[in-house]
């Protein structure tokens, strides 16, 4: 793939289109919540499945992402072979771009606003691309031994 000559169309983020890459973390209106805490809270249970290998542990971190101006030239992708990686914006108006690919698919770009994503293990993706303003994200991923971040120049990838 020649990154200099390719424009990725920005498509809306929806469950069906994103399924080959991971899960969307958002309230699903077709699933009833669990009523908890003496009726004062709704629990929307198991919206994503954090996947880490046996040697690692699931951890939560906060990322503060600086906004990116568009158009943006993609030059690299990364993947995590030892665990999934989830990003959940801490503000409902946060907009960000999710660029993902599998080894047999060319990269795709999705526009997300106010919802999270959980990337499956080994899904190639671009690091966080926040839009509009500095944005905070809760990130669930893997900590532990082993090399869990592989990077690839876009021109050198399998696409």
- Is the peptide bond prior to 25 cis by the omega test (within 30 degrees of 0)? no
Stretch 119-128: mean pLDDT, rounded?
97
Give 17's pLDDT tier (boundaries 50, 70, 90).
very high
Domain boundary assignment for the chain: 3-156
Write out the two tokens for 35.
């009523």
pLDDT, position 155: 81
23 has a pLDDT exceeding 80: yes
39 has a pLDDT exceeding 80: yes
Highest CATH level, class, for 3-156: mainly beta
Q: Give the residues across from 111 on adjacent strands.
A: 12, 97
The distance in angstroms from the start CA to the end CA of the chain is: 6
* Dihedral sign from CA coordinates of 66, 46, 118, 42: negative
With beta carbons less than 8 A apart as the criterion, state whether 123 and 110 touch: no
Rounded to 5°, angle at Cα 50 from 145 and 143: 20
Give 28's pLDDT tier (boundaries 50, 70, 90).
very high
pLDDT, position 3: 46
pTM, two decimal places? 0.92
32 has a pLDDT exceeding 80: yes
């Amino acid at each position: 793939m020649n990154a200099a000559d390719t424009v990725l169309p920005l498509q809306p983020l929806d469950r069906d289109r994103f399924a080959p890459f991971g899960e969307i973390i958002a309230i699903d209106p077709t699933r009833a919540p669990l009523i908890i805490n003496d009726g004062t809270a709704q629990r929307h249970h198991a919206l994503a499945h954090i996947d880490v290998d046996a040697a690692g542990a699931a951890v939560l971190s906060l990322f503060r992402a600086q906004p990116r101006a568009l158009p943006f030239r993609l030059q690299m992708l990364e993947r995590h072979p030892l665990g999934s990686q989830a990003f959940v914006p801490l503000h409902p108006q946060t907009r960000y771009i999710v660029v993902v690919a599998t080894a047999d698919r060319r990269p795709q770009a999705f526009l997300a606003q106010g919802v999270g994503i959980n990337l499956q293990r080994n899904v190639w993706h671009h690091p966080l691309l926040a839009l509009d303003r500095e944005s905070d994200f809760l990130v669930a991923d893997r900590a532990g031994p082993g090399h869990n971040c592989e990077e690839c120049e876009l021109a050198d990838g399998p696409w």
